[in-house]
Chain A
Amino acid sequence: MQALYAQLLVGLINGSFYALLSLGLAVIFGMLNIINFAHGALYMMGAFCAYFLLNIAGIGYWPALIIAPIAVGIFGMILERTMLQWLAGLDHLYGLLLTFGLALIIQGVFQNYFGSSGLPYAIPSELQGGMNLGFMFLPIYRGWVVVFSLVVCLATWFLIEKTRLGANLRAATENPTLVRAFGINVPRMITLTYGLGVGLAALAGVLSAPINQVRPLMGADLIIVVFAVVVIGGMGSIMGSIITGFALGVIEGLTKYFYPEASNTVVFVLMVLVLLLKPAGLTGRAA
């Protein structure tokens, strides 16, 4: 029984990453209608950004938590301005192919310079060590990841669903022409939203740097699972992707305990089931 609690908690930790990443994807898909396959590469850039900040500029983890998402977010906004915006209104496939190509290029460039084994990034000294919860030894850093990503997820949800800015944004996706008529700069808003989604990916990258090796392929390994999370949660649904992210982390954790061999397929089995029973995803509206 104790082991089970431990696995649940570990699942929740992995779920935090799924949630943060799928949230960014959901924001981008919901607001821009772009299937952002470059998300994994941008997540990886976040982690590398933290690594560079530490090893070149001597800037530690805490500032990196803010600087890296902004830096990578700006990079994302440049991508949106120079490339993605021209695809607005075209079939989803174009956006998917463009972002997939970008992901391959970004990963290729990093791999060319840094190889595949990755680089070390230490846990910040404030969060080192762990505490004994009785049923498991919880590294403090992992606890921090869960709490922090939960806060960020809820804040993003609040921003989009409950504030005036979010209302404008949602209106702009429904009917851009009308919203423009109210004097709102819709293209700028779209760019900022893409930047926000990308920033969330980079933030997840910084959070994961001390846990995983900082590797060029760290995003490629994760992105497929995250897409499954988004599909299960319902494309474009903010709350849906947050909840599904955490839930799938837990389910995956339990699989690692009961039948570890299937731990990297269980998410896809679930995706198939959900698509068969509820094609729009658990919380999505039918198109």
Chain B
Amino acid sequence: MKHRISALFLGTALALAAGGGAMAQDKTVKVGVLTDNSGLYSDLGGAGSTLAAQMAMEDSGLAAKGWKIDIVSADHQNKPDIATTIARQWIDVEKVDIFMDVLNSGVALAVNNLVKEKNAVMINTGAATSDLTNAQCSPNTIHWVYDTYMLANSTGQALVKAGGDTWYFLTADYAFGHALERDTTAVVVKSGGKVIGGVKHPLNSSDFSSFLLQAQASKAKIIGMANAGGDTTNTIKQASEFGIVAGGQKLAGLLLFITDVHSLGLKVAQGLNFTETFYWDLNDGTRAFSKRFSERMKNKAMPSMVQAGVYSGLVHYFKTLDAMGGNPHDGVKVVAKMKEAPTDDPLFGKGTIRADGRKIHPAYLFEVKKPSESKGPWDYYKLIGTTPGDQAFRPLSESACPLVKK
């Protein structure tokens, strides 16, 4: 009897060991949502991004096909050093296959290097810097939602065309702000405008009056806000206090999210022009998803484009894995497969992923509604222009990415 039991144990142990060794391709996936869970960007990413990942997992139907999917989430606190420590731990110890969200350009560029070194995958839906698909492009990274080139191209061009030919920049003093200012300057100059000055402010400033006074004194027609989140909302709110818009200058929100507009309220935000690639009220597909999403959010918020991107990116990732029949745990291989297939989901419609890792879809120029035009909470945008996907982003001919064959 004793003999037989020990034989049984030995057999089980051998079987387990053999199973473990043969796991080159299996049906397990670990998704890591690395985002700002507590700081100034946590409303546009944060818990909403984790929820979006959850929904993508549920909607993928992979669990029914025998897949085991885990989602973990962590707060990078907008600090590249903290982010890389978490990312390293995730890849080495927790065997995370794919990084989602990763907002904050400084963080994204740092994690981008690590993901490449360790051959994982990053679908970046939160960071803005266009360097992710240009000089810093990587065979392991896809930049999903938007980038500084696209924002500059859409909003910048529209404003110069409308007569805003002199610009002054209020720029968040880190990788993102610098990239956005650089790309917008290029567009303004190309469209015949002129940049007459700018000021760089520290990230997460609460008082912008000094900077706004300098912008006011510059007499520029357009004050370009190359910042995001709480920095942008505070700038807009205080600009109205100092009578900047009343004085004839126009504020250009180069990067605004629906959560920012919600936080400002329509009275202050009305009339602002800016570009996004997703809005909950675009079509039946976006409305259906957003309704489900908002019901599960603690504060009933509608999804931001960053959160929508997490869903859309994961849908494509899961489809690719399903088609491959298993997860090879090889970042370059998976991303290459993802680039081969066209993307299609209810949030961003049909699209493609380019060789440089840039996801291609249309960009929408919006105007914030007047309070009288809004039918209720979250009914905030009027669509005033659409740039087709093939014109919205940096053309491959201008790309400095080594992955692009010329």
| A117-B259 contact, Cβ under 8 Å, with A212-B234, A260-B201, A260-B211 | yes
A130 close to B42 (CB less than 8 A)? no
- From 109 to 155 in chain A, residues with beta carbon under 8 angstroms from any chain B beta carbon are 111-120, 122-123, 130, 136-137, 139, 141-142
Q: A130-B242, A213-B234 are in contact. Are A116 and B40 (CB under 8 A)?
A: yes
What's the least CB distance linking B107 to chain A, in Å? 16
Per a CB cutoff under 8 Å, which of B210, B230, B234, B298 touches A253?
B210
Residue of A nearest to B170 (CB): A260
Pairwise interchain contact B230-A112, C-beta atoms closer than 8 A: no
Q: How far is the CA of A100 from the CA of B400 in the complex (A)?
A: 48
Partner of A116, one of B42, B201, B209: B42
Of B159-167, B260-268, B351-359, the segment with at least 4 beta carbons within 8 Å of chain A is B260-268
**A118 and B241 within 8 A (CB):** no
How far apart sit A123 and B240, CA to CA, in the bound complex (Å)? Answer: 11
Pairwise interchain contact B214-A215, C-beta atoms closer than 8 A: no
- The CA of A122 and the CA of B207, in the complex, are separated in Å by 16
Does the CB pair A116–B205 fall under 8 Å?
no
Contact B241 A3 (CB under 8 A): no
Question: Does B395 make an interface contact (CB < 8 A)?
Answer: no
Q: Is the CB of B38 within 8 A of A212?
A: no
Q: Mask for B240-262, Cβ within 8 A of A = 1, else 0?
A: 01110001000000000001101
| A263 lies within 8 A of chain B by Cβ | yes
Tell me if A6 counts as interface (CB < 8 A to partner B): yes
Q: Are A212 and B210 in contact (CB under 8 A)?
A: no
Chain A residues closer than 8 Å to B305, beta-carbon distance:
none
B216 at interface (Cβ–Cβ under 8 A)? yes
Question: Given known contacts A221-B204, A260-B199, A264-B205, is B262 in contact with A117 (CB within 8 Å)?
Answer: yes
Cβ-neighbour of A257 out of B214, B233, B299 (below 8 A): B214
CB-defined contacts of B206 to chain A, threshold 8 Å: 212, 218, 221-222
**What is the chain B residue whose CB lies nearest that of A262?**
B202
Q: How close is A235's CB to chain B, nearest CB, in angstroms?
A: 25
A212 vs B301: C-alpha distance when bound (angstroms): 21
Contact B213 A136 (CB under 8 A): yes
Q: Is the CB of B259 within 8 A of A139?
A: no
Are A3 and B217 in contact (CB-based, < 8 A)?
Answer: yes
Tell me if B330 counts as interface (CB < 8 A to partner A): no
Are A213 and B210 interface neighbours, CB within 8 A? no
A36 within 8 A of B: no
What B residues does A27 contact at CB under 8 A? none
Q: Is the CB of B43 within 8 A of A261?
A: no
The segment out of A7-15, A69-77, A78-86, A271-279 that lies at the interface is A7-15
Does A217 reach chain B (CB closer than 8 Å)? Answer: yes
User: Interface size of A by Cβ–Cβ distance < 8 Å?
Assistant: 41
- A141 — nearest CB in chain B belongs to which residue? B241
List residues of chain B with CB within 8 A of the CB of A215: 230
Neighbouring A residues of B237 by C-beta, 8 Å = 120, 211-213
B188: min CB distance to chain A, Å: 21
Could you tell me if A10 and B213 are in contact, using CB atoms closer than 8 angstroms?
yes
Contact of B46 among A116, A120, A257, A263 (CB under 8 A): A116
Report if A261-B202 is in contact (Cβ < 8 Å); known contacts: A10-B213, A115-B301, A120-B268. yes
- How far, in whole Å, are A271 and B259 apart by their CA atoms in the complex? 37
Task: Give the docked Cα–Cα distance between A10 and B209 (Å).
Answer: 7
B394 touches A (CB below 8 Å): no
Give every chain B residue within 8 A of A11 (Cβ-Cβ): 210
Q: Which residue of B lies closest to A120 (CB)?
A: B265
**Which B residues, 30 to 65, have Cβ-Cβ distances below 8 Å to chain A?**
38-44, 46
Collect the chain B residues with CB atoms within 8 Å of residue A136's CB: 213
Closest residue on chain A to residue B213 by CB atoms: A6
Asked if A117 and B241 make an inter-chain contact with CB atoms under 8 angstroms apart, the answer reads no
Closest chain B residue to A111, Cβ basis: B38
Q: Is the CB of A115 within 8 A of B299?
A: yes
For B, the interface residue count at a CB cutoff of 8 angstroms equals 45
Asked if B263 contacts A112 (CB within 8 A), the reply is no
**Distance between Cα atoms of A113 and B297 in the complex (Å):** 10
B43 to A117, Cβ gap below 8 A?
Answer: yes
Given contacts A116-B42, A137-B216, A256-B210, contact A263 B201 (CB under 8 A): yes
Which residue of chain B is the closest to A263 with respect to CB atoms?
B202
Nearest to A11 among chain B residues (CB) is B210
Q: Which of A74-102 contact B (CB under 8 A)?
A: none
**Quick check: is B229 within 8 A (CB to CB) of the other chain?**
yes
Which of A139, A213, A253 interacts with B263 by CB under 8 Å? A213
A111 to B237 alpha-carbon distance, docked (Å): 21
Q: Given the known inter-chain contacts A112-B298, A120-B265, please indicate yes or no for A3 contacting B201, CB distance below 8 A.
A: no
Determine how close the nearest CB of chain B comes to the CB of A7; give it in whole angstroms.
6
**Contact partners of A7 in chain B: CB under 8 A:** 210, 213
A120 to B43, CA, bound (A): 15
Would you give the shortest CB distance from A184 to chain B, in whole angstroms?
41
Given the contacts A119-B263, A139-B242, A261 and B173 also touching, CB distance less than 8 Å: yes
| Minimum CB–CB distance for B294 against chain A, Å | 13
Q: Is B238 an interface residue (CB 8 A)?
A: yes
Q: Which residues of B contact A263 (CB under 8 A)?
A: 201-202, 205, 210
Q: Are the CB atoms of B263 and A130 closer together than 8 Å? A: no
Q: Which residues of A contact B217 (CB under 8 A)?
A: 2-3, 6
Using a CB-CB cutoff of 8 Å, which residues 279-301 of chain B contact chain A?
298-299, 301
Bound-complex Cα distance A257 to B39 (A):
27
Inter-chain contacts of A113 with B (CB < 8 A): 298-299
Q: Which residues of B contact A (CB under 8 A)?
A: 38-44, 46, 173, 199-202, 204-207, 209-211, 213-214, 216-217, 229-230, 233-234, 237-238, 241-243, 247, 259-260, 262-265, 267-268, 298-299, 301
Sample 30 A-B pairs with CB under 8 A, ordered by A number.
Answer: A3-B214, A6-B217, A11-B210, A13-B209, A115-B43, A115-B46, A115-B301, A116-B40, A116-B42, A116-B229, A117-B230, A117-B262, A118-B230, A120-B265, A137-B242, A139-B242, A142-B209, A211-B238, A212-B206, A212-B237, A213-B230, A213-B234, A215-B230, A217-B38, A217-B39, A221-B206, A256-B210, A260-B200, A260-B201, A261-B200
